[in-house]
Amino acid sequence: MLDAVIANNLKLLRKSMGWSLDIAARETRVSKSMLGQIEREESSPTIGTLWKIANGFKIPLSKLLEENSMNASLGSQHWNSDKGLEINPLFHFDPISKCEIFILKLSPGYKFISPPHASGVLEHVIVVEGSLEVLCNSKWTSIQAGEGIRFSADIEHGYCNSTNNIAVFHNVIHYTL
């Protein structure tokens, strides 16, 4: 179901900007064929691809995931990006606070490297369950349940679960939009 939401949002966003697939591909650094496949629901994009699309369109990630932009919360809707990562938008982008909040689950042994976000974007990562290694400022930092870390997300960063248990964490993303 979320693939249909993403497809619809991408089509509407691209058309509202007056962008062809060629222009969207250039701005997002996602191939024209991949964008077309996403719009036709022939491909489920990874979280990395969604970040590239959001960055290219200069929008918060949750704008691609929300079914109705008037909703303040998604509740139980979740999206599996890859086999080892589940992302659940808890609160969509709020234009007043300029932030959105996600809960993520990383499977044991899973590592995700995120492309840089737009200039000035900050992330707050708070571990709820298990432990997590976070790549920020070119170094990995281990954080445990109840701990958090804040970093500039406009450079490459990442998350790694090197344990045998699921890692669950909140990710609060602040934009300068």
Q: Give residue 80's pLDDT.
A: 56
Q: Which two tokens stand for residue 52?
A: 């590239």
- At 47, the pLDDT band (50, 70, 90 cuts) reads confident
Q: Give residue 71's pLDDT.
A: 40
Q: Give residue 48's pLDDT.
A: 87
Q: Give residue 82's pLDDT.
A: 61
Q: Give residue 68's pLDDT.
A: 62
Residues 6+ apart with CB under 8 A from 42: none
DSSP string, 112-126: EEEPP-STT-EEEEE
- Whether residue 75 is predicted with pLDDT greater than 80 in this model: the reply is no
Look over the chain and give the mean of its residue pLDDT values, rounded to a whole number. 90
For 106-123, letters b (16+ CB in 10 Å) and e give beeebebebbebbeebbb
Residue 32 backbone dihedrals phi, psi, to 5 degrees: -55, -45
Candidates 1.10.10.10, 1.10.260.40, 3.65.10.10, 3.40.50.1980; CATH matching 2-65: 1.10.260.40
Hey, where are the domains in the chain? 2-65, 79-174
More confident residue, 130 or 81: 130
Q: Give residue 110's pLDDT.
A: 95
Cα(119)–Cα(127) distance, integer angstroms: 25
Residues 6+ apart with CB under 8 A from 52: 28, 29, 30, 115
Q: Give residue 70's pLDDT.
A: 34
Candidates 2.60.15.10, 3.40.50.300, 3.30.70.120, 2.60.120.10; CATH matching 79-174: 2.60.120.10
DSSP string, 41-66: TSS---HHHHHHHHHHHT--THHHH-
Among the ranges given (46-50, 109-113, 130-134), the one the predictor scored with the smallest mean pLDDT = 46-50
Average pLDDT score over residue span 106-131: 94
- At 78, the pLDDT band (50, 70, 90 cuts) reads low
Whether 63 contacts 98, CB under 8 Å = no
- At 87, the pLDDT band (50, 70, 90 cuts) reads confident
